[in-house]
Amino acid sequence: MQRLLAGFVIALVFVFTNGFSAFAADRFSASVVVPFDLVRGNMIVVKCSVGGLRDLTAIVDTGTSETVLDIEVVRRLSLATEPDSATFVTQQAKVGAVAIPGLQLGPVRVDQLQGIATDLSSWTAELGIRPQVLIGMDVLRRSSFLIDYRSHRLVFGPPPRLAHSAPLVLPQSDSRFALVESSVRGKTLRLKVDSGCNGLLLYRGLPEAITELPRPGSSLASPAQALHAQSLDSPILQIGAWRRSGVQVLVLDEAPPQFAVFDGLIGATVLSQRRLAFDFTNEIVSWD
């Protein structure tokens, strides 16, 4: 099985030399609210249950295709693992395949889930917390939901239609991705909506009209891996009738994985730092 995890896999930080820092019909007749903490301005930290363990610290990450357990949680639950590998952005990493014995996030419950086991301890220094679970789109796609960044709430259930909207592209080849079509410098790109990302990341190999005039010497830092990239002068990003300029843009030095069905990643907070809704029933993403 091709495992393409997160575009940023938790706290991805843009580091520039110029000093910039950086399934799915709704099953709930009424909305259910889950509070969250916001770390580094975009990372959604919640509590969840796995197996018999409650109040585990979890990151809700729409850029992660498969749910991930920290190796300590795997040991506490005495779960068996099998050697496997996963792609983090562009690079292969050794992980364990694990059968997760039930996961619950608010009203969303999955009784059995095939996931990934890996050591998440290295991300503690970056985030200030040690995540025990990465909740991916294999779980999140089971209900539409709203991210309310202002009140720090996840609202599960049929979301409202917000001021701006675009069709969700849900590839048949892998339904764990939520993509939108965008226009950058007149070129149409498919971008994965990633709540763990705080900018716009494009893969190398895109049309030259998009990736020309890079600023040399930029780099990309992540707890999961070290990446090399170049920053662009901020182009205008357009999704439907919505336009935005001044977006942080990085172009990776490497081409995308062969099985990738998208051209890059767009941070959820690039669309909005107020509210963002994933409506999987009507296949729409909206924001205000």
- Band the pLDDT of 252: cuts 50, 70, 90: confident
Give the phi and the psi of residue 84 in degrees, each rounded to 5.
-155, 180
Spatial distance between the Cα atoms of 19 and 17, rounded to a whole number of angstroms: 5
Give 31-69 pLDDT, tens digit per residue. 899 999 999 899 999 999 999 899 999 999 999 989 999
Mean of pLDDT values over 206-223: 48
80: number of CA atoms within 13 Å, CB side?
Answer: 1
Mean of pLDDT values over 63-89: 90
Which residues touch 286 (CB under 8 Å, ≥6 apart)? 159, 160, 161, 162, 163, 164, 165, 166, 276, 277, 279
Highest mean pLDDT among 10-14, 82-86, 116-120, 221-225: 116-120
Mean of pLDDT values over 194-213: 71
Mean of pLDDT values over 176-205: 87
Q: Can you give the pLDDT at residue 151?
A: 97
Tell me the three state secondary structure of residue 208: helix
Average pLDDT, the chain: 81
pLDDT at 281 over 80: yes
Mean of pLDDT values over 243-264: 79
Give 132-148 pLDDT, tens digit per residue. 999 999 999 999 999 99
Spatial distance between the Cα atoms of 288 and 271, rounded to a whole number of angstroms: 8
Quote the Cα angle for 187-22-261, to 5°. Answer: 35
CATH class, domain 164-287, is: mainly beta
Q: Can you give the pLDDT at residue 82?
A: 92
Sequence ranges of the chain with CATH classification 2.40.70.10: 25-156, 164-287
Tell me the three state secondary structure of residue 97: strand
User: Which single residue is written with the structure tokens 């190398």?
Assistant: 204
Q: Can you give the pLDDT at residue 153?
A: 97
- Band the pLDDT of 15: cuts 50, 70, 90: very low
- Band the pLDDT of 160: cuts 50, 70, 90: very high
Assess contact for 206 and 250: CB atoms under 8 A.
no
Give 92-151 pLDDT, tens digit per residue. 778 999 999 999 999 999 999 999 999 999 888 888 899 999 999 999 999 999 999 999
Strand ranges inside 7-42, DSSP E: 13-15, 32-35, 37-39
- Residue 221's CB is within 10 A of a number of other CB atoms, namely 15
Assess contact for 275 and 170: CB atoms under 8 A.
no
More confident residue, 56 or 90: 56
pLDDT at 166 over 90: yes
Q: Can you give the pLDDT at residue 225?
A: 53
Quote the tokens at residue 176: 């764990």
Q: Can you give the pLDDT at residue 184?
A: 86
Q: Can you give the pLDDT at residue 26?
A: 53
CATH class, domain 25-156, is: mainly beta
Give the phi and the psi of residue 121 in degrees, each rounded to 5.
-65, -30
pTM beyond cutoff 0.95: no
Spatial distance between the Cα atoms of 252 and 267, rounded to a whole number of angstroms: 16
Quote the tokens at residue 158: 């049929």
Mean of pLDDT values over 186-209: 81
Q: Can you give the pLDDT at residue 278?
A: 96
